[in-house]
Amino acid sequence: MPSQKEIDRRYKNIRSRMQAAGLDALIVCGNQYAGFEGAVFYTSGFEIVHRYVYVVIPLEGEPTLVFPREARWIGDKKKPWVKDQVWPDVPGQWLRDRAVERKWKRIGTFGMNFVMAVRDYRELAQGPFELVPFDQEFDMARAVKSKEELVEVRDAMDIVVDGFWAMIAGYKPGKTEAEIMAPAVERFFARGAGPRMMNILLSGEHGEANAYFKVPGHRKVAGDDLLLYSLEVTGAGGYWVEFSRALIQGKPSATTQRMADAYPHAMESARKLMRHGELASNVHRTVADIFAKHGFALGHLSGHSIGMTMLEYPAIGAKSEVPLEENMIFSLHPQVVDQEGKVCLYTQDTYRIGKTEGECLADVPWKFYKGGETRESVRSGPR
């Protein structure tokens, strides 16, 4: 549970942006989909176990947790600091009635496009008020992490790296993709991640990985298979971090090796630009340009802000003209693809924006891992 000082800080930042946008209230949406539950946790302390929840934050007055009636017995309702809680049959109808009763004219929404239940939007859309998308403003209100939050972020990073080393210790050809990942997931769950994880995989044969993500399955791994596990988890505090390194016991293909040759330069150049006042677009551009000089492109954005929601604004992309601020947290995950878009190489690291340069939160060198390595046996890389 965050301190009262931290809770007050969050509401103050959110309401400051609400006031600037002329909002009377804000509806924060969250559901069980991995990475989309965090905004509710951030604003109320309620941990979504199943289905969905809303937090209603008026510009003035106490917030309210709104649950669908069918979720009355799901989740610990005593845990959140928001004590005003309701369980209507159709939450959207209750929200509409509350807005009419309070004479709200402009209501901000976080998560209306991807999270809000359709039945609730239908009810809200009939109301005599304006629904205002507020996703970017909400994310910017929580983008700079407090000292209290950074403790939770670092704990989550320790958990994901701990799981990575457990995975490396048991990695060997002959196991399935799922069996190789299993020690990491066991460690994650034991240390408090719970269901808040999304562990997926890029893999392929002959020293190359196919350029599409999948769920690790029952395919047995050969010595020259390239495995790129994307480890994405939270700690008990609910803050997401992302991490990935390449696994292969055999030899990378010539194409993969050319990609690998560019990676350390690209990641380090990006880290040096992750500083207060730098534009997010400049970080993306330096990564894209380095890989372009080697004849490769990026499969998608270089990265994104990350916190209690897995994907937060701003992105690290070509059009992201947003100045970085100290103590923002970003996932940098360039997926490098060949000219045909079939072969890729991938990594993930989580960074803190610093005053003069970024801080990589994982002290794990970028290299091809063969299995059996330990923290002690691998020389620490640049931070």
Integer CA distances (angstroms), 106 to 63, 132, 155, in order: 16, 7, 39
DSSP lists the bridge partners of residue 337 as 297, 344
Q: Domain check: are 171 and 253 in the same one?
A: yes
105, 151: one domain? no
Residue 382 lies in a domain: no
Indicate if 133 and 235 belong to the same structural domain.
no
Please identify, among 109, 143, 177, the residue that sits at the C-terminal boundary of a domain: 143
pLDDT at residue 381, as a whole number:
45
Residues 181 and 56 placed together within one structural domain of the fold: no
3-state SS class at 151:
helix
| Domain contains 291 | yes
Residue 378 lies in a domain: no
Percent of the chain exceeding pLDDT 90 equals 90
pLDDT, mean over the chain: 94
On whether the CB atoms of residues 115 and 29 are closer than 8 A, the answer is yes
Confidence bin at 301 (pLDDT 50/70/90) = confident
The torsion angle over the Cα atoms of residues 369, 370, 371 and 373, rounded to 10 degrees, is -60
Distance from C-alpha of 11 to C-alpha of 19, rounded to nearest angstrom: 12
Residue 228's φ and ψ, nearest 5 degrees, are: -125, 85
379 pLDDT tier (thresholds 50, 70, 90): low
pTM (2 decimals)?
A: 0.94
Domain-embedded: residue 381: no
- Residue 263 in domain: yes
Which CATH number belongs to the domain containing residue 306 in this structure? Answer: 3.90.230.10
Residue 299 has pLDDT above 90, yes or no: no
- C-beta separation of 306 from 329 below 8 A: yes
What does the pLDDT look like over 204-262, one tens digit per residue? 999 999 999 999 999 999 999 999 999 999 999 999 999 999 999 999 999 999 999 99
User: Does the pLDDT of residue 147 top 60, yes or no?
Assistant: yes
Task: Please report whether residue 383 resides in a domain.
Answer: no
> 3-state class of 143 per DSSP?
helix
| Burial annotation 170-195 (CB, 10 A radius, 16+ → b, else e) | ebeeeeebebbbbbbbebbeebbbee
Whether residues 43 and 157 fall in one domain = no
Are 126 and 174 members of one domain?
no
Q: Do residues 227 and 356 share a domain?
A: yes
Q: Which helix (H) or strand (E) holds 207?
A: none
3-state helix, strand, coil in the chain (%, to 5): 35, 25, 40
Confidence of residue 382 (pLDDT cuts 50, 70, 90): very low
Report pLDDT for 302: 92
Q: Name the more confident of 196 and 380.
A: 196
The pLDDT value given to residue 98: 97
Same domain as 194, residue 68: no
pLDDT category, 155, cuts 50, 70, 90?
very high
DSSP letter string, 355-379: SSS-EES-----SEE-S---TTTSP
> Has residue 169 got a pLDDT over 50?
yes
Name the domain boundary from 99, 127, 143. Answer: 143
Residue 24 backbone phi and psi in degrees, to 5? -90, -25
The Cα 215–Cα 203 span in angstroms is: 10
Dist CA 139 CA 133 (whole Å): 12
How large is the average pLDDT for residues 23-37?
93
- CATH of residue 72's domain is 3.40.350.10
Does 346 lie in the same domain as 280?
A: yes
In a domain, 61, yes or no: yes
With bands split at pLDDT 50, 70 and 90, how would you rate the model's confidence at 33? confident
Task: Evaluate whether 82 touches 44 at the Cβ level (below 8 Å).
Answer: yes
**Predicted pLDDT of residue 348:** 95
Contact between 23 and 108 (Cβ < 8 Å): yes
Q: What is the spatial distance between Cα 180 and Cα 225, in angstroms, rounded to a whole number?
A: 13
Q: Are residues 72 and 156 in the same domain?
A: no
Domain that holds residue 327: 147-369
Clarify whether residues 286 and 170 are in a common domain: yes
Strand partners, 348: 244
308 found inside a domain: yes
Query: Does position 77 have pLDDT exceeding 70, yes or no?
Result: yes
Helix (H) or strand (E) holding 281: helix 280-293
**pLDDT in the model for residue 24:** 98
306 shares a domain with 188: yes
Last residue of a domain, one of 84, 113, 143: 143
Given a contact cutoff of 8 angstroms between Cβ atoms, the answer to whether 91 and 117 are in contact is yes
pLDDT band at 123 (very low <50, low <70, confident <90, very high): very high
Number of domains in the chain: 2
